[in-house]
Structure formats: structure tokens, C-alpha cells
Chain A
Amino acid sequence: MLGGASQGLGKNNKWSLFTSSLSFALLVVAVILGDSRPAYTLPLPRVQAIPAFARKYGLPCSACHEAWPKLNNFGQTFKDNGYQLGNDRDAPIWQQPTYWPIALRITPHWHRENTDHMGVYDPVTDSIVSRSVTTHGFDLTGMDMLTAGTLSKNISFLLVPSSDNTGAFHFESVNVRFSNLLNTSWLNVKVGKFELDNMVSEKRIMTLSANGGMFQLYHFLPAGDYQTSGDPRFVGFGLGDNQLGVEVSGHSRNDYTRYSVALLSSNDGNVNLPTGRGYDTYLTFSQAFNAGSLGLQRVGAYTYIGQAPTNFPLDSNLNFIPGAGTGNEKFYRVGFFGLWYIKKLDFTTMFMHGSESAYLYSGTPSGQTLPFGAQDPKWNGGWIETHYTLNPQFILIQRYELIRMSQQGNTGNPSNLGDMDALTFGYRYYPFMTSRAGFAFHNEYSRVRQRGTGVLPGQDLTTNSVFAGLDFIF
């Protein structure tokens, strides 16, 4: 047996050498191919992987994560059970007094962005011209401070203060969950700020670059939408944004069948009720089934029905009164998804149909006459994401997103205005796998093209990102 183990270690060394070489080669290829464009703010490390749990239970990261931060079914079940394994070792009383359920994550990295058809001021002609702009350099992501665990049996919490890369903090997640109410796994209640119950979690996204670090579809708003104008009275909406509210959820004992219903404040997760006093609803359902040696497959559906104010009362100083907005207008997202496993290969498929009121699109107060040609914008989108998990320490990632407008917000717009294509690929290599900390070499390339949104009419806006980072959490 010992001989066999030694052989195994020898193979590991060869494997490490191979993957290190592959990492370097892929990085070089990514840099060479990275004909990229400008960088806006890099996304925060949105993902959650909590080695505090690994330390608590003595399990390696790979027990809960397909490749962290992506959860596997064991990790999803643990989460759905209120961060409990159910072996009577969950409550804090079982922990050493020195145990502190905190994990920190940040990713120093090098990145390169390039944008075509970007509006740039030309002092010679004193006008805005279309240019290709490139930036690159060493940088930091923001930091997540993840604290989570059980307060008592069946009462758990999650607190995630997050900073951007300048150190400015906000609360990404703050919630308390009451699990297994009435002694059944079908009734759990969570209150606070939390990620929507998306089985395709953006908080656990496997890609990190400026383009690829988010699901474009989750945050898509039509080109020309007034909600993207910067007017503070309009906060927009992203299905990937954490929201404030209460969620009722449940699942079968093996977590194959899941549902959730959430009532959310219509402020896209922003504190201090910046806009109105309406409420949104989010519903999800999914069902997993066992496909024998292929693995566990899951299909599901979701719908978000939201509203946002369009009338904004003013105080005596003619300032907008936050939270007092009225004249709510509707928007919704609806779709379905699948998580498909063929042994080491897995696919995530996602479809979404989105729509919003013409009043929101045009920023017109409800009840007033809409601008000429204004109508409810509608769009369809989806993606396919592929992972090849060679082993718990190496994963290849690819995603292709596609969004198509089916109805523009204004009849005068070109029919394809705002249509988007996004391609992302990369890999993560975890040189060690322990229950104390996590570390990954992360290399990625991403390209996004949006139709007709360049600075000049008819030009597409194309951005490219290259990202090479050291992703660590402890």
C-alpha cells in the first residue's frame, strides 16, 4: 500500500509540473491573443468560498466545491441545510473557543483591457472621436470578508463586509436563516440581505476578469435605458445583485427538489431605501435527477417580478425624498436553466426573457405621455458554460453568452441595438487542496461585443479582457 502511495505522490509531482507548464503556456497564449480594450472598474471578488467551514469540519475545499467557489451537490446541501452537516457537531458549542468563523479573499492580478470605438476627446479637432483604448498593469480586486456559521442549532448567519479595491466597505450580505422550521427541511426562512436563490450563482462565478467576472445576462439593461443614465433616483436591477428582504425556501432531504419564494424591497439591494417603497418577488424551483455514472443533473426555472418608481416627490428644498417614490412601473425576468454533468465534463445552460416598462426605459413619470416611439423593451438571452474538472485541482472554463433584443425600447432604434455576445475562457489551477486555505492560479480571457453602442452611430463596442491572478482565501 505504501508503495502504491509513493507512486501516487510521484504522479502528483509529474502532474504539478505538467499543470504548471500548462498554466504558463496558457497565460502566454492569453496575453498574445489579448487584443483587449479599456478597463472600467474591475468587478469585486463576488464569489464565496468559506475555508472557515473547512477548518470547522476538517473537510478539504473540494468536499463542498466542484472547484471553489463553484458548489457541488454536497456543498449545496450543506448550504441549504443552514450551514449544517447534521452530525451534531454544527452548533458553536462544539467548536474550540478560539475558533472564529472568518475567511478573507482577495486576488492580486495583472490585467489588460482594450476597447474599440470608445469615445475619446481629441484636442486637435476639439471633438469626441472614436478610438481604441488599451490599459494594462498590476492591480487588486476588492476584498471579501466572509463570516458565516451557526448561532445555534438551525439558526445560521452570513455576514460579508466587502470592500472595493480602494478599501471602501459595504455590506454585501447580512442575513440570519432559520432552518428546518416545524422540523421539516421544506420550511426555512432567511431575513436580511442575501443573494437570490440562483442555482447558477454569480457569487460563485468561476471567472474574474472585467468582462467575464459577471454574467452579462444577469445585469443586462437595454441600450439607451434611462436607468443607466446615472440618475440616482433609478437604481436599475441585476439578477446577480444581492437583495434585501425575506426568503422562504425548502428542499427535499437529499436536496434534489428545491424551491424558494422571496419578498424583496424594490431597491436592488441598496440600503436606506434610496428610491421607492415597493416590493418585488422572486420565485425559483429546481429538480435534480440521478443519471447513474454520469452524475447528478438539475433543471429549474425562475421568475423575478419587480417594480420601480417613476414619480419622485420633493421636499421643501426641492430635493427628492428618498424612499418615497411612487408611480411604480413593472419589469420582470423569467427563465430556466440546466446543470448537466457527464462525469468530469459539465455544462450550465441558461435562458432568460426580460422586459420592462416603457416608463422605466424612458424615465417618464407614470401617467404622463411617453416620448414618441417609446415601448416596453424586451429581450432574450442565454449562455452555455462548460467546465472540465480534470481533478479537484484543475478546471478548464468556457462560457458563451448571447443576448438579443426582441423589441427595442423605442421604435426608432435599430433592431439589433444593444445585442450582446460575450465569450470567456480560462482555467484555474489549485496547487494544493487543504482544509485550511485556498489558493488558485487564475488565467482568463474574455471578449464582449455590443451592437451599435460605440461612440459613433452604427459602431459596435467591443471590449477584451485578459486576467492573470493569484486568487487566495484563508
Chain B
Amino acid sequence: MKTKVPSKRLLCLSALAILALPSLGSAQESHIGKLTGHADSGKQLYRRFCIGCHGPRGDGQGENAPYVTPQPRNFVAATFKCRSTVTGTLPTDEDLFNAITRGFNTTNMPSWAPLTEQQRADLVAYVKTFSERWKNEKPGTPIEVPAETPVTLESINHGKELFQKLECWKCHGPEGRGDGPAASTLTDSNDQPIRPYNFSAGTRFKCGTTNQDLYKIFITGVDGTPMPSFADVIKPNEAWDLVHYLRTLQVSRKGPESDLLKAHGGAAKAADKSGK
């Protein structure tokens, strides 16, 4: 049975559709500096580069997912490890752009820096189409990273105290080797086993290579993993102390923290409160 649609109603529907276009368009874009990424372009790129692991639906169930450890990111859940925003919030477009550019060390996610910036921006726009969260929420506000405090022996020693006080050693181990008593029991938000970072291996951090990146990890936490945010627990200068101490645990890395420590006997001093 045919239904005749009145021409006025058709006109109204068309007008509504046109009015709705800008809002649809904004959900399909990313903005990184002066770049604007477009999901339409990103879709083709996603199909070319990403679909094997992240899957056609972005749920991390690509054909390679069963063979990949750790599991590919599930974009539908929209839980992202590396953010500049507070825990539990969506990352900024720039966070996603940086993640695609940097890749994730010791995982199957390579650096996609060989793609042009425009291509990476387009991918960010497309990745955001997989989850309703991007339609209903705004990205969190980026945290402020204050200027780094000077690297001093006191700072390193205080960092060691914090390492014990905050019980970082329970997962990361007393010497930061990722072998703490809780290490073997840890799981991520998908109930998959997850290993805490082993500082002594000296590999790059997943979320960046600089002291600022390490600082952000404390403050934002690593969502989807047992690594919590310490934003409400430690003050900024304490976070820097912790950064300075953790750098000394990267025994194969040369840096001002390790050099200073070596010049003063080679070991940070802090009251042992670990009970060991």
C-alpha cells in the first residue's frame, strides 16, 4: 500500500535534515592544532591500516586479535590508557593523535608516524565514531603539568619514600622490576592478565618518553589497567620527586637522576616502610 507523503511534511523533514547536518559533521571530525580530521577519509585509512587488529566494528576483535598480546584496544568501550585528561574522562583529539603517532611500545601497535599528519587526524576522527561516548560526552580537561622541579638527591630520596608509601612496590616490585607480590594477579578491564611496567628493562613508556609523560601517568592514571590516578593523593612537587626516583630504577638509562645518584653512592635512601 502506497502512502502519500504531503509535500509540506517532506519539506520540513528536509529542512530538519539540513539543520542536523552540522551537528553530525562535528561528531565526525577531529581537531589537532590547525588540522581538521574527517571521519570519511579516516574510514578508508582505518580499513587499510587498523582493521586487522581493531576489527571492522572497532571492538578490538579483528582477525588478529586472538594472536595479539596485549589485546587490541576496544574503541567501542572508549577507555584509553594514555591521556592528558583526568581519569575516567575521554582523551583529547591530540591524545589520540599522539597515541597513533607514537604507537605503544612492547605491543603490536606500531608508530604510524610515516602516515601524514592529515591521515592521522582523519583516523582520530574515525576512531571516535565507534563509541556513543563521543556523542554524549566531551573530552576531559587536560591536566596542568607544572615546571619540573630540580633533580636533587633529596628529591630522589623523597621519591623513594613515596614509592614505598604509595605501595607502588606491590605491583612494580621493590626495585621496579615489575615483580611485586601483586604482579601476577593483575588484570585489565577485560579481565586479561597484565604485567606492571618493569623499570629495569629500560624500554620506552607506553605513554611517552619524557619526564612530563611519566608525570602525567601518575596524575591521570592508566585507565583500563590497575594503575590508578594519584591526582588526589600527591602534590605536584611530590609527583616530580617520584619521577626522579623512578628514573633511577631504569638502570640501563643514562640521565641526570642516575648520574646524581651514582655520584652519591649509587642508592637512594629512604626509610624502609615496605615491611621487607
A residues bordering B, Cβ < 8 Å? 1-2, 5, 8-9, 57-60, 62-63, 73-74, 76-78, 85-89, 253-255, 290, 292-293, 295-296, 391-392, 434-436
Contact = CB atoms under 8 A, between A and B. Distances in A.
Contacts of B105: 87-88
Interface in B87-116: 103-116
Given A1-B76, A88-B203, A391-B47, 12 more contacts: A59-B64, A59-B110, A60-B48, A60-B49, A77-B114, A78-B114, A254-B114, A255-B114, A290-B117, A293-B41, A293-B118, A392-B48
A58 B53 contact: yes
B108 A58 contact: yes
A292 B35 CA distance: 9
B173 interface: no
Given A87-B108, A435-B63, A62 B113 contact: no
B49 A58 contact: no
Given A63-B48, A391-B44, A435-B63, A86 B56 contact: no
7 contacts: A1-B58, A5-B56, A60-B51, A62-B47, A63-B52, A88-B105, A391-B44
Given A8-B56, A254-B114, A57 B108 contact: yes
Contacts of A295: 116
A342 B76 CA distance: 32
Nearest to A390: B44
Contacts of B115: 73-74
Given A87-B106, A89-B107, A59 B52 contact: yes
A435 B63 CA distance: 8
Given A60-B52, A290-B116, A1 B68 contact: no
A337 B111 CA distance: 28
Contacts of A436: 63
A253 B114 CA distance: 9
B57 A5 contact: yes
B190 to A, nearest CB: 18
Given A60-B52, A434-B52, A74 B64 contact: no
B109 A87 contact: yes
A73 B110 contact: no
A85 B105 CA distance: 10
Nearest to B64: A58
Contacts of B103: 85-87
Contacts of A8: 56
A74 B114 contact: yes
A283 B48 CA distance: 33
B254 to A, nearest CB: 12
A69 to B, nearest CB: 15
Nearest to B68: A58
Contacts of B56: 5, 8-9
A8 B111 CA distance: 28
Interface string B36-56: 000001001001110111001
B130 interface: yes
A296 B116 CA distance: 7
Contacts of A88: 105-106, 203-204
Residue from A74, A87, A89 with most neighbouring chain B CB atoms (10 Å): A87
Nearest to A256: B114
A2 to B, nearest CB: 7
Contacts of A2: 57
A73 B48 CA distance: 13
A392 B114 contact: no
Given A5-B57, A254-B113, A434-B52, A292 B118 contact: yes
A12 B233 CA distance: 52
Contacts of B117: 290
A2 B130 CA distance: 9
B134 to A, nearest CB: 11
B27 to A, nearest CB: 13
User: What 6 pairs across the A-B complex have the smallest Cβ distances?
Assistant: A58-B64, A85-B110, A77-B114, A62-B48, A74-B114, A60-B52
A391 B131 CA distance: 25
A435 B107 contact: no
Contacts of A9: 56
Kindly name the residue among A73, A253, A293 whose own CB sees the greatest number of chain B CB atoms within 10 A.
A293
Contacts of B63: 434-436
A255 B67 CA distance: 30
A255 B113 CA distance: 10
Given A434-B52, A434-B63, A435-B63, A87 B57 contact: no
A2 B67 CA distance: 24
A435 B53 CA distance: 10
A85 B108 CA distance: 9
A403 B46 CA distance: 41
Contacts of B51: 60
Contacts of A293: 41, 118
A63 B115 CA distance: 10
A37 to B, nearest CB: 39
Interface in B55-98: 56-58, 62-64, 67-68, 76
Contacts of A1: 57-58, 76, 129-132
Interface string B236-272: 0000000000000000000000000000000000000
B37 to A, nearest CB: 10
Contacts of B116: 290, 292, 295-296
Contacts of B62: 58
Nearest to A253: B113
Nearest to A435: B52
A401 B132 CA distance: 52
Nearest to A74: B114
B88 to A, nearest CB: 22
A59 B49 contact: yes
Contacts of B47: 62, 391-392
Contacts of B118: 290, 292-293
Given A1-B58, A74-B115, A290-B116, A86 B110 contact: yes
